[in-house]
Chain A
Amino acid sequence: MDFGRMIFLWGLLAVPLPLLLHLFFKRRKQRVKFSTLLFFLRRERYFAYRRRLLELLLLALRILAVLLLVFALSRMFFKRFTFIAGAKTEAVIVLDDSMSMQRRLASGGTAFDMALKKAEDILDSLSGDDNVALVFVSGKTGADLTGDKNTVLQQLRQSSVTAAAGSITAAVQSAIEQLRQAPGTNREIYLISDFQRTAAPSHPIALSELKNSRLFCLPLRGSDSNVSVELPPPGLAPVIVGRAVNIPFKLINHGQTDREVKVELEVDGVTIQSRNVIVASESAVSDAFSWPPQRSGRINGYVHIDDDSVALDNRAAFTCDVSGDVRAVMVHDGTPRDADPFFYLRHAIDPEQDRHLYGIAAITVPLERFSAASLKDATILFWAADGRLSASAASAIKEFLDTGGTLISLPRTPAAVPDFNALCSAYGFRLVNPYRQPEERSACGLRFLPPLAGFNEMLQLNLLKWRRMAPLNPGNSGRVLAESGGVALIVEQLIGCGRWIALGFDLRRGCSDWPLLKSFPVMAVALVNYAAGTRDVIVNLTCGGKMELKGKKIAFQDYAGHRGDLPVVNGMATWSETWLPGVTTFDGADVRAVVLRTSAPESDLRLADDSVIKDSFDASVTLLDPGEEIAGQVVALRQGTELTGLLLSLLLVVLTVEYLLGADGGMLRRAVKKIFSHDREAK
């Protein structure tokens, strides 16, 4: 409560006046001895207590009338919160720039466009001495509290919707933290959001601790109709030129009506295929494009849908390294103790040397002829040489691993161990027993672990019998791909951009009967494909997330073609510019490419109710009407509602009631009667 003319509050001294008059003119009760009460007892309505009640009511009405008159003259205001006029106001605008803000409003624009306009209105409502800050829900850097509103205005105008989900809780807490340290007396938080149901805070945000603070929420309501497209993670198989690759996609209709959507496959900026797909309301449809790449190298593409609502989730990106045939170089020392160590493997993965039936070209190279040239266009290097590594060979292998190649080593004599240990040391990595001679050991079965575990059921690998094996120790950084009876037999270790896969067994009958089994060629091809795949160097990341990259000098190129270098500190760099979906490629990092995907919940545009909004905070929330001018609403709320009209109306009602109830006792009625009686007498 506040008063515009405090001087009239002196009128409150007149409040006891009706009481004094009541006491002064109070009629004394006269006692009369009467012959009988026979004629009184039947009607209670004449009893004096009713009269006394009426008099008390009239007294209350008269006191109320004086109060109403005084308050009306004092221009009483009602304020929903304490706002100290003239004091400095610290305001934080929390702007929701998540993907759902791209929803369409009835006016035709997007919710984010409206949010920007309203944010500018809020800036206009602040006076010159006030400070203002800008916080984005997505987590993008905003503006700290400043008196320079132009800075905030510029930042607002440069902002755009991100594909990140963000967190309203985190954004409001950031605003609270800024206000807590601010010296201003009046503290205001303006939360402009579409208040998407999936983004509602799970627990009430603690706002009550912040003294003299007000939270204004501006809900921007719009259509919740939306169709989004998602791509599942890429498969394991290498993408080879001329061989069809499946691009599966999923269409999700979040709206209440069925939709027919045009879906297009776009590769390198060219639409390759398109089709129309009907998606029922609140359901999903999975489908796939089949497309043979026509060139080798990195290919970026999109699955694009035609939808009027949120634009950012209309496009899902993918990337892949397309190669020619997988080139597997098999190195042995030329003087094998027991014939060709790759005999069975070669026939398994490349049975017809000219046709490369499985897209794999197996090339055998003796150790003495091994050089860097041997690894040209090679994808996989099989190593089964007992001899020592020459410096040039070690350098070639190192470069091969740096550029993303995969080394698959078979167990050999201890003579070569120091050389490989040195190779490991070059990467700051040590694989325990990566290269040792197999020992006699009887065992049964082989069990593959993820991601190759799917082969176990199909291939009956439990029939396999071991005679010799070289148990491997994955250490802390290795990953076991296959084991037998708890003994690791295939271990993978990431090195640079490449991988080293160590086998704890020979691919000959001396170690096991596996080369004679039908499962061997299947598994050999699968393992080669796995080794040739680029999955581990292409990462899927949700927009708004951050990523740690390793490398000495890291350059990036984003989906829009922008190039730049990431600052590297101690061999690590943080990449956080992940606001929009697409593919970003890196040079010199342990990750070659990152596919940025939209946050799936952001495509669900259903809105939270006002009650949910209010329940999201532990303090009172003032909901602003986006249809009205924000500055006007805020100023009115700060000033409060003037109650003079209401008070005068109430006064009129009170006087009318007093007149009607008063009968002969009514002050007003008596006065009116007196005036009229004077008139009559005068006539």
Chain B
Amino acid sequence: MAGTQYRYLPPETLDSLKNIELVARALVEGGMLGLHRSPYRGFSSEFAEYRKYVPGDSIRYLDWKAYARCDRYYIKCFEEETNLRSYIVLDKSDSMGMPDTKAPAKFNYACYLAAAFMYLMHQQHDGVGFFAYDDDVRVVSECRCSRSHLIDLLKMLENLRPGGRSDAGSCLKLIAERIPKRSLVLVFSDYFDTDPDFLKALDHLHFKNCEVVMLQVLNDNELHFPYKGLIEFEDLETGDTVDLEADSCREYFLRSLAEYNRRIKDFCDCRRIAFETLTSSTPFERALAVYFAKREGMF
């Protein structure tokens, strides 16, 4: 890795992520041992609890000292460390390609973040899968933890270009069907969808006990609406245009956006889904750090 330059994983980013550990909020199943707690009791080094011996248990885990003290058979249970199955879901519709003069485009920013997560998970020996969608699921990469897979994913990210109209509802539903239970799902999108019911697709992930993190990527223009005067706004996805007096409608736009995000947030809170809005002007590594700090507080 050190000798290869990837567009979305520059060396400075790699340096800043060196000491960050990704810890999933919930225990997830994993085929490989790692740093994540598992809901299954295993036999690792970290003691969890005692339980009574039942026939069939391996006598290797009998606590003989306890037997000596109280003349009863107890089995020592340890927390089993498993590998995390994480999936990166990236919205590649045209709306994500909205340009920004002072910062990377939303799509690029999301790709940077996705690459950073991929790298981190790889470092933790977690499997990483990847999906990209617009009005259909365009890229599907199953969850693996090999180094070559990480390289493939990063190249995949490099080759992605924003395009197409967004149909988050149906795409997330399709993606949810392919993601196994108890996975960590990171969704990068602006969540601007004309179908107000697109969030219901997230219920599928919720029912599978997946940890879902929704990262809304906006740029400063969307967040602060700095436009002035007579503007002809062109919808990047539909090509529709509308002439507006930017000064007059700024307040309404911001209020509408806040209301829109509040509804998404309410939806997420009900399902213990994390929702965070990030701006493309924020250094993405800092955004990651802030995010993880917030996540750590939950454990």
Contact = CB atoms under 8 A, between A and B. Distances in A.
B248 A35 contact: no
Interface stretch (A39-47, A350-358, A565-573, A628-636): A39-47
Given A39-B253, A39-B257, A30 B232 contact: yes
A32 B232 contact: yes
A31 interface: yes
A30 B230 contact: yes
Interface in A637-670: 664
A110 B238 CA distance: 88
Interface in A18-52: 27-43, 45-49, 51
A41 B229 CA distance: 18
Contact of A40 (B106, B233, B237): B233
B42 to A, nearest CB: 46
Interface string B208-238: 0000000000000110000101111111111
Given A39-B256, A43-B249, A47-B244, A34 B230 contact: no
A29 B192 contact: no
Given A37-B242, A43-B252, A48 B230 contact: yes
B98 interface: yes
A49 B244 CA distance: 8
Interface residues of A, number: 24
A41 B236 contact: no
Contact of A27 (B194, B230, B234, B257): B230
Contact of B260 (A31, A39, A48): A39
Chain A at the B interface: SS class:
loop
A31 B242 contact: no
B283 interface: no
Contacts of A47: 242-245
A31 B192 contact: no
Interface residues of B, number: 34
A32 B234 contact: yes
B98 A42 contact: no
B247 to A, nearest CB: 7
A48 B244 contact: yes
B243 A40 contact: no
Nearest to A41: B242
A41 to B, nearest CB: 7
A32 B231 contact: yes
B91 to A, nearest CB: 11
A664 B242 CA distance: 22
A55 to B, nearest CB: 10
Nearest to B256: A39
B190 interface: yes
Contact of A36 (B221, B237, B245, B248): B237
B38 interface: no
Given A35-B222, A38-B192, A40-B249, A29 B230 contact: yes
B122 to A, nearest CB: 31
A31 B234 contact: yes
A294 B240 CA distance: 117
Most A C-beta atoms less than 10 A away, residue of B106, B190, B247, B249: B249
Contact of A51 (B221, B230, B232): B230
B244 A33 contact: no
Contacts of A41: 242
A29 B232 contact: yes
Most buried by A among B222, B234, B245, B260: B245
B194 A33 contact: no
Contacts of A42: 256
Contact of A664 (B99, B232, B247): B247
Given A33-B236, A34-B236, A39-B257, A27 B192 contact: no
Interface in B157-209: 190, 192, 194
B104 to A, nearest CB: 15
A49 B243 CA distance: 8
B190 A35 contact: yes
B124 interface: no
B233 A29 contact: no
Nearest to B248: A46
Contacts of A40: 233, 242, 244, 249, 253
Contacts of A51: 230, 245, 248
B279 to A, nearest CB: 13
A32 B234 CA distance: 6
B192 A33 contact: no
Contacts of A43: 249, 252
Interface in A592-632: none
B245 A46 contact: yes
Contacts of A32: 227, 231-234
Contacts of B248: 45-46, 51
A478 B21 CA distance: 148
Given A29-B230, A38-B256, A47-B245, 4 more contacts: A36-B192, A36-B237, A43-B252, A664-B247
23 contacts: A27-B229, A27-B230, A30-B231, A30-B232, A31-B234, A32-B233, A32-B234, A33-B98, A34-B235, A36-B194, A37-B242, A38-B192, A38-B256, A38-B260, A39-B256, A39-B260, A40-B242, A43-B252, A46-B245, A46-B249, A48-B230, A48-B243, A48-B244
- In order of increasing CB-CB distance, the 3 nearest A-B pairs are A48-B243, A46-B249, A35-B95
